[in-house]
Amino acid sequence: MKHSYLLFLFLLLFAVHSFAQQANAKHYNEYGIELSDFLYNKRLQEPQYLDLHFRRDQQEITILVPKEKVGQLAPSALKALQAYLQKMGKSSLADNGYLVINYLSPLASNQKKFAASKWNVLDANFSNRLAQRDAISLFWIYDPNSKRASDYQRKYIHWIPDKERLLNRLFFPYAVPHGSFLLIKPNGAFYYHQGPYDKDYIWKQMKRFFFPKL
């Protein structure tokens, strides 16, 4: 009887503590605008959002970010990005070319510690297939805070740190699980996807975004 009472008391305290934490939680969208509990829970059920969790001064912070986004870079921002990529990659970009960027988040990791990733975006046939297209430049970039970038290294892939955090400021201010990929047209129109993906999904989105009439 005593054990049953203690178990009941423990569960009650746990429930009260969980409720207090939830009541104390603050929810925001990607622009830092606070969301009500109702709106947050409603959007959380929608598949196009990722929820990121942080703690600040004993308070839980959740931020909803879109998995996918389409936008337009200003001409000055596009020019700065192109110059940054050429400087990092130490090579010229294709004239009026398209950009494909794989971006590795600090949260990217493998299930097995120190094991090389089996992520199929790293397959040689993906890089080789893109290399056959003269109008497309491919970049592999990682957040400098990433501790596991070496797990994704291949002889034919040159990962570059986003030292000046330009990609971080323009597109990826939040560290999402796994990573992201980014597609940019010559006119500065862009599309990005955050969260898990594979090479087939990149090809699908490239065809849809870059070459919809093919």
pLDDT beneath 50: ranges in the chain = 2-3, 5-23, 110-116
Distance CA 191, CA 19 (A): 38
Question: Is residue 197 within 8 Å of residue 67, measured between CB atoms?
Answer: no
CATH 3.40.50.720 fits domain 68-209: no
Q: What is the pLDDT of residue 21?
A: 45
Q: pLDDT at position 118, please?
A: 62
Question: What pLDDT shows up at residue 202?
Answer: 93
pTM (2 d.p.): 0.79
Residue 187 has a pLDDT of 95
**Domain residue extents for the chain:** 7-66, 68-209
Q: Give the model's pLDDT for residue 186.
A: 94
Among the listed residues 193, 188, 187, the one whose alpha carbon sits nearest the alpha carbon of residue 206:
193
Neighbouring C-beta atoms of residue 120, cutoff 10 Å: 12
